[in-house]
Amino acid sequence: MKQEFKKILDHPIDRRTFLKAVGAGTVATLFGGQSTMEEVFAASPKVGIVQLGTCAGCQVSLTEFGMDMRYISSSNPTTADILPTIDIKYAPLLVDVLAESFENISSLDICIIEGIAGPTVESSELLDHARSISTKVVALGDCASYGGVPGLNSRKGLLDLYPINKVISVDAYIRGCPPQPEQIWYMVTGGAIGEAIKPGRVCDPCIYDPKGPQASELGQPGCKKHLGCQGHDSPWQCGATRSTGGKAPCTLVDDICIGCYRDQYPVTPYYVKGQVQMRNQYGAGKQTPSGNTTNATTNTTLNKTGMIGK
């Protein structure tokens, strides 16, 4: 199938043929088994997009494909061109449908789920239904995949929040807070369009050398690994790099990388050594020279950026 895609995309094609290749990639990537392109073209995948506890940023990102000038050309379509090639059965952000209509859907090829799961009956029933009617389930973004920002404040019991794989089985994950639209469609279409996450770390294009001078507080020049910067372990191609020429904007403005493209973001604790040193030096509940406040009760440190690390 990949060879057939390559033959099509290596030669000039009209827009209609290209969009057929997109639809073919969606089916071939997640299912496989079709022997000819004709069989794939005949299948218009039934897709549902479900939203749980979330800011909806991942779905907004999904709709932005083609808006980046790097991808606008005669052969690359926008999201508005792609959507008609699939059969959208449910997507409240894209289609004017009632929320309860999802319960009446009996079959989906792909169910894309955004957001964090909660302890409510409605959340569990929605996920169970999504799994039971879907051939493949895709977790879109960090909240659905790892717990995301809402998962930081998760408490056992009534306030327990968790990724969707704690409730149902998941077939694929698309990381990011939010993911880049090019990376979403690259995964869904089997690489027919879009762009894969490239190798490398945020540290690579950073203006500070990790082996060079180290900053002792935020706002001070130097590498900020010891202040909790996650650039040493985060893929560099986060969603924010689309507008900064490929450089991570957090470090570009002399702040720390919060690891929004890192596995387990942001449940993974900040750099523990630096936080332990702060608590030992300044004590619990006191303000450090850089404006941080240590907290022994929750065993966390809240810094100026508003991000919490254990």
Residues 14 and 121 grouped into a single domain: yes
Residues 33 and 99 grouped into a single domain: yes
Taking residues 255-266, report their average pLDDT: 76
* Residue 200 domain flag: no
* Residue 193 domain flag: no
pTM above 0.85, yes or no: no
101 pLDDT more than 50: yes
User: What Rg value do the Cα atoms of the chain yield, rounded?
Assistant: 22
Taking residues 37-54, report their average pLDDT: 69
Residues 130 and 26 grouped into a single domain: yes
Residues 251 and 156 grouped into a single domain: no
Q: How many folded domains does the chain comprise?
A: 2
What SS3 state is found at 303?
Answer: coil
DSSP code of residue 162:
B
**Domain range for 240:** 225-309
pLDDT band at 207 (very low <50, low <70, confident <90, very high): confident
Residues 6 and 55 grouped into a single domain: yes
| Residue ending a domain, choose from 160, 188, 216 | 188
Residues 55 and 174 grouped into a single domain: yes
* Residue 218 domain flag: no
Residues 183 and 255 grouped into a single domain: no
* Residue 213 domain flag: no
| Residue ending a domain, choose from 137, 165, 188 | 188
Q: Where are the beta strands (DSSP E) in the chain?
A: 46-51, 87-90, 108-114, 134-140, 172-174, 293-295, 300-302, 308-309
pLDDT at 131: 96
Residues 23 and 145 grouped into a single domain: yes
pLDDT at 128: 95
Question: CB of 278 within 8 A of CB of 285?
Answer: no
d(CA 181, CA 83): 13
Mode of pairing for the β-strands spanning 293-295 and 300-302: antiparallel
Question: CB of 102 within 8 A of CB of 79?
Answer: no
We report the CATH number of the domain holding residue 61 as 3.40.50.700
Taking residues 222-249, report their average pLDDT: 73
| Residue ending a domain, choose from 188, 205, 234 | 188
* Residue 150 domain flag: yes
